[in-house]
């Protein structure tokens, strides 16, 4: 993830600039895991849960659609209340987020494997940016990214510590060991989801570039492992 993000940094900055925005800093929010009230060990079990979907997020919506899951779209601030009222019973978030927002109090299980990795960025419209002097612009850009890189490292540390907190609180990690057929289904369905967003959320060029970088990294690091918890 870090390799792909760094390789795409200039490309993404250029695309934002084309839309009228300046990226002053990018950071990694972290790997996101699924939290639930029951162990989710099959598609059938997953389809029976009441999943939270971040309202307005086309990426997660495409994934839910591909796997035949009907989610409940809600704003982030409505999640805790909706867990309490049982409007939803399954949600995905980083371990640190689950602890910080006390969501873990409403769950009993968390997935062993992450479902995605969330990235963040601070952007400024060119209309506002151009009101800043060129000298100050350079200073802002030179200061912000190193700070965000440090923030990303701290987020990883917080996530690791939070996993320990979650386990001590009674959260059980669901060990998932799919057979080759299940893995193939997951990969093909995920491909279907991202393909459905070409021309809507991202271009074919950007998707191909991203997947190419991923494959490039995997070939150079054949022993790489998915970030999972135990």
**CATH superfamily assigned to domain 2-220:** Bacterial extracellular solute-binding protein, family 7 (3.40.190.170)
Tokens 């080759």, residue?
180
**Residue 164 pLDDT:** 97
Q: Which residues pair with 173 in a beta bridge?
A: 110
Mean pLDDT on 73-93: 98
**Residue 119 pLDDT:** 93
Residues 6 or more apart in contact with residue 17 via CB below 8 angstroms: 126
Q: Which helix (H) or strand (E) holds 118?
A: strand 116-125
- For residue range 186-220, what is the model confidence (pLDDT) as tens digits? 999 999 999 999 999 999 999 999 999 999 999 99
Neighbouring C-beta atoms of residue 117, cutoff 10 Å: 16
CA atoms lying within 13 Å on the CB side of residue 121: 14
Sign of the Cα torsion 120, 221, 92, 105 reads: negative
Q: What are the structural domain ranges in the chain? A: 2-220
**Residue 19 pLDDT:** 96
**Residue 110 pLDDT:** 98
3-state SS record for 209-221: HHHHHHHHHHHHC
Q: Say if residues 50 and 90 touch (Cβ distance below 8 Å).
A: yes
Q: What does pLDDT average to over the chain?
A: 95
Q: Model-level pTM?
A: 0.91
226 band by pLDDT with thresholds 50, 70 and 90:
confident
Residue 31 to residue 94: CA distance in whole angstroms: 6
Share of the chain above pLDDT 90, in %: 92
Q: At 186, list the tokens.
A: 């997951």
228 band by pLDDT with thresholds 50, 70 and 90:
confident
CA of 84: how far to CAs of 38, 80, 104, in Å? 16, 6, 12
Mean pLDDT on 17-43: 96
**Residue 60 pLDDT:** 96
**Residue 222 pLDDT:** 85
- Collapsed DSSP state (helix, strand, coil) of residue 161: helix
Tokens 């271009």, residue?
203
- For residue range 106-145, what is the model confidence (pLDDT) as tens digits? 999 999 999 999 999 999 999 999 999 999 999 999 999 9
**Residue 208 pLDDT:** 97
- For residue range 57-82, what is the model confidence (pLDDT) as tens digits? 999 999 999 999 999 999 999 999 99
Residue 203 to residue 79: CA distance in whole angstroms: 31
């Amino acid at each position: 993830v870090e390799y792909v993000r760094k390789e795409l940094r200039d490309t993404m900055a250029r695309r934002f600039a084309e839309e009228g925005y300046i990226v002053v800093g990018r950071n990694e929010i972290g790997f996101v895991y699924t939290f639930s009230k029951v162990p989710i060990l099959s598609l059938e079990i997953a389809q029976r849960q009441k999943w939270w979907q971040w309202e307005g997020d086309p990426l997660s919506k495409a994934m839910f659609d591909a796997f035949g899951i009907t989610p409940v779209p809600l704003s982030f601030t409505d999640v805790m209340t909706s867990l309490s009222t049982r409007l939803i019973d399954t949600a995905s978030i980083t371990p640190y987020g689950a602890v910080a927002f006390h969501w873990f109090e409403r769950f009993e299980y968390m997935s062993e494997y992450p479902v995605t990795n969330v990235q963040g960025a601070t952007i400024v419209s060119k209309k506002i940016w151009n009101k800043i002097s060129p000298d100050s612009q350079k200073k802002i850009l030179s200061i912000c990214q190193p700070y965000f890189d440090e923030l990303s490292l701290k987020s990883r540390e917080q996530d690791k510590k939070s996993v320990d907190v979650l386990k001590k609180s009674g959260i059980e990690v669901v060990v998932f060991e799919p057979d080759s057929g299940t893995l193939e289904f997951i990969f093909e369905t995920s491909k279907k989801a991202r393909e459905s967003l070409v021309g809507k959320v991202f271009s074919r060029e950007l998707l191909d570039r991203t997947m190419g970088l991923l494959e490039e990294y995997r070939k150079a690091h054949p022993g790489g492992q998915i970030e999972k918890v135990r």
